[in-house]
């Protein structure tokens, strides 16, 4: 969180000149002998005390990074208030909590019947001893312990973990506010690395299910209301519409309706993210479904293993940065992807499955590699 207390340098006060007449307040420099004028001059030009780095740090009030003991309130933090610091929420009841900024880690303890929006978190989000919570969360790691009845719209770069928790329901992250894309970048999170449906239950119970997926048509605003128009957050332009969400809406682990899938990979360039978003918009408008996405770096040996017969022509393209891969699903999806690649992305560095016969292998090869690369 940074240093909470600053050391103050102690400046020595100039010694009173012994030549000044004691008790004579009317005495001035002009009344002093020349030698004393010289002495005063040298004293007034003393070097300022040395400044250390901790002297220059802005003082941090721990209370600015905590919400504790609140009831029936709308509270949170506006953009620019946390700037990557840690944050704590505890002992809150029936509150609407909006954290519109990026942070290092967030812990939420002993909260009941709260609705919580969290901006991107560089590290972990940890819920403990909470119940009846509805939340929208983007983070590197997501964990719960001793929690009951939580509805979570999640973007998580790693595998979410629940422990001693029941009644947990998960859906894909859907949210937007103007600074959100920058906050994802500041938190070091990729909008394409989202394992929201790949839950690991650390304490499974035989014959019981501690977690499930929210309905596919779940709408965030039905779970998490917009801020009160009279609150301090009224100036934040929020949207929870799926087509405006910073994070692409994926089907995740839900059952697909078609056996046809296609791998579409964009190699690093100036418009990789924009091209991926355009592809998603074009394909979903045609009725196809986005299953999953990943953004990972590749080495030449990875290209050989994943793309096999096409590897030679693709190896030089991986040197510019990570690749963005998408799995799209639906009858005739391979033909549709190849058509849009030629019509919309002609000249762009990309890979598209060649046929229905090879597409399943392409999808498995790439996403198995990506999961291993990310430790999933």
Could you give the CA distance from residue 37 to residue 49 in angstroms, rounded to a whole number?
24
Q: pLDDT 10s per residue in the chain (376 long)?
A: 444 444 444 444 444 444 444 444 444 444 444 444 444 444 555 666 666 665 555 667 778 899 999 999 999 999 999 999 999 999 999 999 999 999 999 999 999 999 999 999 999 999 999 999 999 999 999 999 999 999 999 999 999 999 999 999 999 999 999 999 999 999 999 999 999 999 999 999 998 999 999 999 999 999 999 998 888 998 999 999 988 999 999 999 998 989 999 999 999 988 999 999 999 999 999 999 999 999 999 999 999 999 988 888 898 899 889 999 999 999 999 999 999 999 999 989 999 999 999 999 999 999 999 999 888 7
- 207 with 266, same domain: the answer is no
Instruction: Residue 299: give the domain boundaries.
Output: 256-375
Calculate the alpha carbon distances from 310 to 304, 321, 371 in Å: 8, 19, 21
How far is residue 50's CA from residue 30's CA, in Å, rounded to a whole number? 33
The C-alpha atoms of residue 202 and residue 300 are separated, in whole angstroms, by 36
Q: What is the pTM of this model?
A: 0.83
Residues 356 and 294 in one domain: yes
Is residue 80, in this structure, part of any structural domain at all?
yes
**358 is a domain residue:** yes
Binding residues: 123-124, 140-143
- Residue 14 falls within a domain, yes or no? no
Question: What residues does 87 pair with on adjacent strands?
Answer: 106
State how many domains the chain has: 2
User: Do 263 and 116 share a structural domain?
Assistant: no
Domain assignment present for 20: no
The pLDDT score that the predictor gives to residue 310 is 83
**Close Cβ partners of 64 (under 8 Å, ≥ 6 residues apart):** 81
Give CA–CA dist 93/195, Å, rounded.
Answer: 29
Binding site per annotation, positions for GTP: 123-124, 140-143
Among residues 202, 222, 242, which one ends one of the domains?
A: 222
Residues 6 or more apart in contact with residue 105 via CB below 8 angstroms: 86, 87, 121, 122, 123, 124, 125, 126
- Name the nearest CA neighbour of 195 among 268, 145, 142, 242: 142
Tell me the chain's radius of gyration from C-alpha atoms: 29
Torsion of CA 131, 137, 143, 149, to 10 degrees: 20
Secondary structure letter of residue 185 according to DSSP: H
Note the residue count of the chain: 376
Same domain membership, residue 206 and residue 336: no
Could you tell me if residue 152 is inside a domain? yes
| Whether residues 273 and 217 fall in one domain | no
Boundary-marking domain end, from 166, 197, 222: 222
Residues in a beta bridge with 76: 98
Is the same domain home to 305 and 370? yes
251 belongs to a structural domain: no
At 116, which CATH number? 2.160.20.70
Distance between CA atoms of residues 328 and 248, nearest Å: 12
In a domain, 243, yes or no: no
Q: Is residue 86 part of a domain?
A: yes
Residues 261 and 168 in one domain: no
Residues 172 and 113 in one domain: yes
Q: What is the pLDDT of residue 45?
A: 57
């Amino acid at each position: 969180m940074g240093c909470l207390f600053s050391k103050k340098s102690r400046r020595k006060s100039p010694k009173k000149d012994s030549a000044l007449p004691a008790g004579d307040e009317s005495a001035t420099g002009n009344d002093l002998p020349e030698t004393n004028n010289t002495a005063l001059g040298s004293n007034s030009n003393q070097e300022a005390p040395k400044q250390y780095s901790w002297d220059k740090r802005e003082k941090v009030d721990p209370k600015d990074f905590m919400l504790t003991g609140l009831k029936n309130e709308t509270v949170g933090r506006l953009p620019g208030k946390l700037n990557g610091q840690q944050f704590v929420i505890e002992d809150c009841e029936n509150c609407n909590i909006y954290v519109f900024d990026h942070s290092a880690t967030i812990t939420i303890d002993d909260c009941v019947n709260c609705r919580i929006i969290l901006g991107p978190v560089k590290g972990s989000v940890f819920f403990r001893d909470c119940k009846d919570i509805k939340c929208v969360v983007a983070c590197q790691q997501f964990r719960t312990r001793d929690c009951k009845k939580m509805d979570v719209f999640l973007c998580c770069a790693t595998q979410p973990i629940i422990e001693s928790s029941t009644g947990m329901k998960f859906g894909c992250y859907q949210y937007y506010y103007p600074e959100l894309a920058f906050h994802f970048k500041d938190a070091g999170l990729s909008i394409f690395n989202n394992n929201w449906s790949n839950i690991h239950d650390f304490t499974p119970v035989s014959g019981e299910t501690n977690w499930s997926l929210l309905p596919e048509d779940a709408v965030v605003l039905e779970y998490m209301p917009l801020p009160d128009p009279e609150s301090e957050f009224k100036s934040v332009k929020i949207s929870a519409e799926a087509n405006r969400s910073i994070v692409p809406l994926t089907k995740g682990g839900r059952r697909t309706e078609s056996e046809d899938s296609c791998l579409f990979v964009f190699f690093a360039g100036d418009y990789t993210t924009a091209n991926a978003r355009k592809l998603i918009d074009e394909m979903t408008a045609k009725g196809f479904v986005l299953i999953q996405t990943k953004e990972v770096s590749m080495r030449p040996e990875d290209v050989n293993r994943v793309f096999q017969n096409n590897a030679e022509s693709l190896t030089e393209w991986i040197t510019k940065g990570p690749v963005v891969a998408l799995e799209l699903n639906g009858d005739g999806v391979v033909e549709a992807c190849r058509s849009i690649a030629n019509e919309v992305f002609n000249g762009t560095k990309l890979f598209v499955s060649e046929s229905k016969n090879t597409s399943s292998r392409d999808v498995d090869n790439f996403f198995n590699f990506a999961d291993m690369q990310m430790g999933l």
